[in-house]
Amino acid sequence: MSFQEAPKLPKLGELPELPERLAGITRMMASARAKSGPSKERRTADKLVAAYNAMNVDAIIALRTPDCQRVFLPASLKYPPQSNAFFKQNLTAISQIFTSFKIVVDDVIEGFASDGYARIIMYVSAFGESPVGDYRNQYVWKMGFTDDGELIREWSEFVDVGMAQEFYPKLKGEMVRRAAAKEGGPHNQSVEAQVKEAEEHVKVTSGAKTSSGHVGGHYMGMQSGEGGVR
């Protein structure tokens, strides 16, 4: 009776390096995904970008679960999260001021978190035109999805503080001016005066000193539990 000789196992030095093996697996998964088309989550994220580019506020909100909150990062900024209702209010106000707005996706990272839910991270650039100047911004969006991948259930975004300090006071000034005109308020106040008033408000809410020497405690109107103009 004869026995077949057991196959020889490769020596440790003959095994491919672990990083190379992982890289190979990653490439295989990416290739398989490319052949099968984008995931449901990616299609939802792409719909969101399209809704922003069309400035379709209802479509943007419709892609979120009712309890989805807009969380701002880094946490050190201490921006309170926004509900869908407040987010919609902000988007509606801003959409009436921008004459053009476009989102460009610079990069996408897609995978699964430890909780088993799919996650997508998008690096995007925003370009817009408004009566108070050109808008150039960069965002990092992190999205978590429902089981079917159709809706965004978690949202966090890194904000550009520099842009907020430079552009949003001007934007807020224009919003104040339009609101005053709509309500029959003072029409002779210049945009520059409105902007100065808004800048003072931002200093108050950011903890910076205003012209009166006051030091505020919040930033960009993020008071009363929810965020301000975005």
What's the rounded Cα separation, in Å, for the pair 222 and 226?
A: 6
Contact 150, 44 (CB under 8 A): yes
Is residue 102 a contact partner of residue 50, using CB atoms and an 8 Å limit? no
Q: Which residues of the chain have pLDDT under 70?
A: 1-35, 164, 183-230
Sign for the CA dihedral angle at 94, 98, 100, 105 comes to negative
Look at residue 50 in the predicted model and tell me its pLDDT. 98
pLDDT at 209: 41
Give pLDDT, residue 105. 98
* Six token digits for residue 153: 């259930």
pLDDT tens digits for 127-154? 988 888 888 889 999 999 999 999 999 9
Domain with CATH 3.10.450.50 in the chain: 37-159
pLDDT at 212: 38
Pairing of strands 118-130, 133-145: antiparallel
For 61, counting Cβ atoms within 10 Å of its Cβ (0-12 exposed, 13-18 middle, 19+ buried), the class is middle
Half-sphere exposure of 18 (CA within 13 A, CB side): 1
Q: What is the pLDDT of residue 210?
A: 41
- How is domain 37-159 classified at the architecture level of CATH? Roll (3.10)
Structure tokens at 7: 């196959």
Contacts of 52 (CB under 8 A, 6+ apart): 60, 101, 103
Q: What's the pLDDT score for residue 76? A: 84
User: Taking the model in full, what pTM does it have?
Assistant: 0.65
